[in-house]
Amino acid sequence: MSAVDLKAPKLPKLPKITVSRRQALIAVGAAVALIAVVFIGWNLYLDHTKEQRVAAFGSHMAASEADLHRLHEAVSTHMRSSPDHLSIGETDAYMRQFGALAEYGRGVTAYHRQVIAADVVPMSYAGAQAAYIRALESLNRAFSLWSSAAAAYDAKAYAAAKDNLKEADGAWKEYLAAVEEYERELRAAESGEEISPA
């Protein structure tokens, strides 16, 4: 019995592809044009996304500022409504109303802090966002301390009420400083400038 010869089949010769210089230039030109279209399209998409994010942030900021303005008006009106000499009953009612306003302020500031912290903003607006969040946190702390002062007053713990009011003044000053920083950062973001670290 003879051995079987195994031979690999011969592959057919493929014709050589000849590319003229003109065809090569056209192919390269088409590739460059395709890359340019993708690059421009991507940049347009990023610009559109950035504009949408800035618009959403601006909308949330406007809603927050409007709510804080109404809250400030309510607190200012309450402060102005206090006559020079109140009876004990009137003072108690005044402080209860003040405590209710402070609790409402805590809720408003906590809500807006949550909304604005969730915004995904371009890097140029990150400083403004962070400063405004700090402002809301300081204002929330001030409202919490005012609420505690009202509760302490109601419990006849007048020294504690006074301490809370003093701490609230400090939180209010921190709020004002953070608002100033937010305004600086926002102007820089809108003008394309960079803020040097303080």
Joined together, the tokens standing for residue 113 give: 């802090």
Residue 88 main-chain phi, psi, to 5 deg: -60, -45
pTM of the model: 0.71
Please determine, for residue 45, whether its predicted confidence score (pLDDT) is greater than 60.
no
d(CA 72, CA 74): 5
> pLDDT value at position 197?
47
Distances (CA, A) of 78 to 36, 99, 102, 105: 62, 11, 11, 13
| Per-residue confidence band for 114, with pLDDT thresholds at 50, 70 and 90 | very high
Joined together, the tokens standing for residue 176 give: 């004002």
